[in-house]
Amino acid sequence: MSRVESWLVTAGLPKYRAAFAGMHEQFFLELMMQDFGKYGVVDQGDKHRLYKAIKQARAVVGLCEDAQDSSSFSYTNYDLQGGSGSDLLDLDAHDGDLIEGPLQPFQVSPVGEAARAAAGQQQGGQQLSDSKIRVVVRKRPINKKEVERGDEDVVEMDMRGSCVLVNETKLKVDLTKYAERHQFNFDEALDEYVTNDQVYRVTVEPLVHTLFNNGKATCFAYGQTGSGKTHTMSPLPIRAAADILQYLVRPELRDVSLFVSCFEIYGNKVFDLLNMRKKLNILEDGKKKVCVVGLKEHTVSDVEVVTQLIEEANHRRSVGSTAANSDSSRSHSIMQFALKRFIAGGAHSRLVGKLSFIDLAGSERGADTFDNNRQTRLEGAEINKSLLALKECIRALDSDARHVPFRGSKLTAVLRDSFLGETARTVMVANISPTATCVEHTLNTLRYADRVKDVPCSSTARSGNLPPPNPYGSGSSNDLSSHEVLALQRPLMQQHMQQQQQQAHYQQYEQQHRSTAPAPLPPRGRQPGMPGGVAGGAEAGMMHEWSSPEELDAGEEEKLQHERGELMESILEDEEEIIALHRQQIEDAMEIVRREMAMLQEVDQPGSSIDQYVDSLGAVLEQKLDGIRKLQGRLDRFSSKLKQEDFLNKTVQKKQSTIQRI
């Protein structure tokens, strides 16, 4: 009798021995509940018994097999995984709807074997201890809408070299197109064919082992709206919970329990997503430990409970419509797994380890938020501020700086204990979009991730078409498609029609610049005197950045955006102050009402002094007016800033429309 058959008999399921006859043990251990129907297990009670049997068998195999067997489960050998592009959902231009679809089923990984292999060879542990921060870049596939638009894939992923290449298509003023090639190096580079299972193996699975050694780990996804953050992050907690619960089966961990909590940071406020969106307070105790007061933790002993909690949290998370995404996440969602060991008869608990999963709100450039309403623009400003604070904290930790600016935002304040300590580990998953229309967002994401990891990057420019396709299958075609050529030529034809009107401006500006500035340098990536496409060196002056009126307007637009960004930051600070002042004014008004009621009761008594009543009433009215004047003055200043921001927004919109007409 095989081991699979013996497991079935032990579970009281001998009638299914024929259905599983000849099945390899590993295939049996990797079965999920949704696969049971394929083998004739349709009864709900039999499904639960089979699920428990597989769970117990995994624990037995994890404790008894040799560490050598774990070599077949390589973390980075993707060729053996058999992944395909169909394993990734169609992102359809945004990642908000990904939660509604069924999550990809996962196989419980052999954490027992991996842990023993790490203990025996010290390879995985050594790699984990060398770097506190790991940066993994994941590229999503082109979705249907992008295919219909004819968008080209301009991102190449070199998985063997952990390198990302971005071919940014640019145009010169003389109508010559060229590709500027950017190169970034990271810890891992995952192409569009990598499955979520493989993502888990290179990101979260190494963190699970440290969780039982007083470790605090953090995994977060960063990227523009629609790059696949939610799709990447949603299955990771489920898979991690399965591995953690598999560890907890061991006898030495019987007094350790898994607690799950989830909350969001919206604007500058914190809400409990698993407790009816109850508002939480962030306080710091005498030991400088940040505490989320009122956060509800749920004890978990089954993976299905974790799945239900994730669905509940996603249902209550704040979303909104932006110019880039009709269902964009407008808050940072944080799910925490805390391992606690009960002591003193279960009356108290001590934290063993903590693992945090952060699904950050979509990052957006300030130029992309001008079409939104003021509330959405304020949300975007707060999101970008918190993302900047997170990046600075991670860089300070990686460089062992004396001061880490955790108080820069609520996000970093909450995650303070997850980043501090020798056993703290952080994994960043940078999600990028592959198309040419999103290339600016892609470069911003890669630069953000590059600064976090502080890995040198390089960029070279060359004239002509895009480079040849990547040998790994994710590069763009050698020639630009007809759709892209038409898209590039349309504004150029309009510009050519106005060439006569602009010629005088060109000559005047060039003459003025030659008289006040030294000879301009050639474009990046070209040698002096090298011909530049069809125009050649004779028309090199037409290709400099200062020679285009559109780029001059773009510089002025950037200045306005910077001014607007500073104003938005001031508005966010004043918003908190005016709300606090209003709340204080209401409390003062209630106290005044109580005093007035006491005054009326006193004046109704026989022998009361009317003079004292008049004096007291005058003092009360003066206090009321003083509070109202103070609140009104602050409100007027705040309203003035809102009008100024609206004026700057409309000004930039007009300049953008003018540039588009040109």
Q: Is 74's pLDDT higher than 90?
A: no
User: Which tokens go with 400?
Assistant: 């062992």
Half-sphere exposure of 527 (CA within 13 A, CB side): 1
SS3 508: helix
The residue ranking higher by pLDDT, 409 or 627, is 627
Predicted confidence at residue 662, as pLDDT, reads 54
Q: Give the position of tokens 């409100």.
A: 635
Helices (H), 517-548: none
**What tens digit of pLDDT does each residue of 14-66 get?**
888 888 887 878 778 878 776 777 788 878 778 778 878 887 787 777 544 43
Identify any residues that bridge with 283 across adjacent strands, giving them in sequence order. 291
More confident residue, 405 or 380: 405
Closest CA to 158 of 130, 117, 188: 188
Chain centroid to Cα 183, Å, comes to 22
Mean residue pLDDT of the chain comes to 71
| pLDDT at residue number 242 | 92
Dihedral sign, Cα of residue 298, residue 299, residue 300, residue 305? negative
Asked if CATH classification 1.10.150.50 holds for the domain at 3-64, the reply, yes or no, is yes
CA pair distance 424, 355, nearest whole angstrom: 10
* 351 — pLDDT class (breaks 50, 70, 90): confident
Q: What is the DSSP string of 23-37?
A: --HHHHHT--GGGGG
pLDDT in tens, 570-623: 777 788 788 888 988 898 889 999 889 988 888 888 888 888 889 889 999 999
Mean pLDDT, residues 460-475: 39
Higher pLDDT, 328 or 164: 164
Query: Would you say residue 105 has pLDDT above 50?
Result: no
**pLDDT on residue 146:** 87
What residues does each domain of the chain span?
3-64, 72-79+86-463, 550-661
Res 545 pLDDT > 50 = no
- Give me the residues paired with residue 358 across strands: 220, 334
Q: What is the pLDDT of residue 49?
A: 81
- At 656 the pLDDT is 62
**80 Cα distance to chain centroid:** 29
- Take residue 219 and report the two structure tokens written for it: 């995994």
Q: Please say whether the dihedral angle defined by the alpha carbons of residues 596, 597, 599 and 600, taken in this order, is positive or negative.
A: positive
**pLDDT, tens digit, 9 for 90 and up, residues 265-279:** 887 788 999 988 888
Q: Which of 395-399, 555-559, 570-574, 590-594 has the highest mean pLDDT?
A: 590-594
Residues of the chain with pLDDT > 70, as a percent, come to 64
| High-pLDDT (> 90) share of the chain, % | 12
DSSP 137-168: EEEPPP-HHHHHHTPPB-EEEETTTTEEEEEE
Burial 358-382 (b: 16+ CB within 10 A, else e): bbbbbbbebebbbebeeebbbbbbb
pLDDT of residue 186: 92
Q: Cβ neighbours of residue 379 under 8 Å, at least 6 residues apart?
A: 267, 320, 330
Burial class (CB in 10 A: 0-12, 13-18, 19+), 631: middle
Higher pLDDT, 231 or 368: 231
DSSP-derived secondary structure letter, 492: H
Is the pLDDT score of 192 beyond 80?
Answer: yes
588, 627 contact by CB (below 8 A): yes
Q: What DSSP string runs through 576-601?
A: HHHHHHHHHHHHHHHHHHHHHHHHHH
Beta strands of 140-277 (E only): which ranges?
155-158, 163-171, 177-185, 188-190, 216-222, 256-266, 269-272
What is the amino acid identity at position 418?
S
Least confident of 45-49, 431-435, 551-555: 551-555
Q: Which fold has domain 72-79+86-463?
A: Kinesin (3.40.850)
Cβ atoms of 238 and 314 closer than 8 Å: no
Q: State the DSSP code for 469.
A: P
Residue 527: helix, strand or coil by DSSP?
A: coil
Tokens of 327: 């269902």
Instruction: State the sign of the Cα–Cα–Cα–Cα dihedral 394, 397, 399, 403.
Output: positive
Of residues 421 and 118, more confidently modeled: 421
What is the pLDDT averaged over residues 190-208?
90
241 within 8 A of 280, measured Cβ to Cβ: no
Place of tokens 């891992």: 188
CA–chain centroid gap for 369, Å, is 18
What the block records as the tokens of 224 is 């523009």
Residue 177, Cα to own-chain centre: how many angstroms? 33
Comparing 439 with 462, the larger pLDDT belongs to: 439
Distance CA 81, CA 85 (A): 13
* Type of residue at 492: L
Cβ pair 195, 138 in contact under 8 A:
no
Helix-then-strand count for the chain, H and E: 19, 17
Tokens matching residue 546: 């200062």
Mean pLDDT of 147-162: 89
> Are 273 and 262 contacting, i.e. CB atoms less than 8 angstroms apart?
yes
pLDDT of 260 above 90 = yes
